[in-house]
Amino acid sequence: MATINPYLIFDGNCETAFQFYSSVFGKEIQQWGRFGDIPADVDMPPLSDDLKNRIMHVTLEISPGYVLMGSDSNPAMGTFVIGNNIDLAIGVDSREEAEEIFRKLSENGKITMEMQDTFWGAYFGMVEDQFGVEWMINYDDPAKMQLLG
């Protein structure tokens, strides 16, 4: 069964925003990751010191099953514009479900990141559908998540 979470994109102030949201909802941040945490063997353009410090991914569970996610923008992912700074993140139960949803959303759309195994242990991809809505499809393989601790 798929779940959908709002994914907010910021222009360098994601950490401040999520600290604020944490205080608003009285909840602790579950996960922080910075672009500087990306392993050296991942194929990416070099990052400036500013980009290395930006948030790559953060999660804040507002209530059981309802998670607010976010990151800072990265020029490698396109131009940041207020209005296109929210994606819908879909969590699925299998690679097959991820493939099927990704394929359907991609019809007449634009793939921005092919479905692929990631360094953080997920099978993940991104697509802009034919209506301009941006989606992130994610399958957290339990076997890989155990290896990452």
pLDDT digits (tens, 9 = 90+) for 74-126: 877 777 777 667 888 888 889 999 999 999 989 899 999 999 999 888 999 99
Domain boundary among 37, 69, 85: 85
> What pLDDT was estimated at residue 84?
67
Residues 55 and 122 in one domain: no
Identity of the residue numbered 92 = V
Question: What is the domain extent for residue 114?
Answer: 92-149
Q: Is the pTM of this model over 0.85?
A: no
The widest CA-to-CA distance across the chain, in whole angstroms, is 41
Q: How far is CA 33 from the centre of its chain?
A: 11
Of 85, 103, 137, which residue constitutes the final position of a domain?
A: 85
Residues 81 and 98 in one domain: no
Can you tell me the distance from the alpha carbon of 48 to that of 112, in angstroms, rounded to the nearest whole number? 22
- Cα separation, 118 vs 73, in Å, equals 19
Q: What percent of the chain has pLDDT over 90?
A: 37
Residue 146 has pLDDT above 70, yes or no: no
> What phi and psi, each to the nearest 5 degrees, are found at residue 15?
-60, -45
* pLDDT value for 39: 85
Same domain, 45 and 64: yes
Q: Are residues 130 and 109 in the same domain?
A: yes
CATH number, domain of 37, equals: 3.30.720.100
pLDDT digits (tens, 9 = 90+) for 3-17: 888 888 888 989 999
Per-residue pLDDT averaged across 28-54, rounded? 87
Across residues 14-30, what is the average pLDDT?
A: 89
Q: Which of 10-19, 24-33, 127-136 has the lowest mean pLDDT?
A: 127-136
Mean pLDDT of the chain: 86
Among residues 63, 85, 107, the one where a domain terminates is 85
Residue length, the chain?
A: 149
Token pair 């301009």 is found at 132
| Residue 111 confidence (pLDDT) | 96
80 plus 97 within the same structural domain? no
Residues 9 and 67 in one domain: yes
Task: Return the beta strands (E) in the chain as ranges.
Answer: 3-10, 31-34, 55-63, 66-72, 86-91, 110-117, 122-128, 134-140
Do 120 and 80 share a structural domain? Answer: no
* Rounded CA separation 11/6 (Å): 17
* Number of domains into which the chain is organized: 2
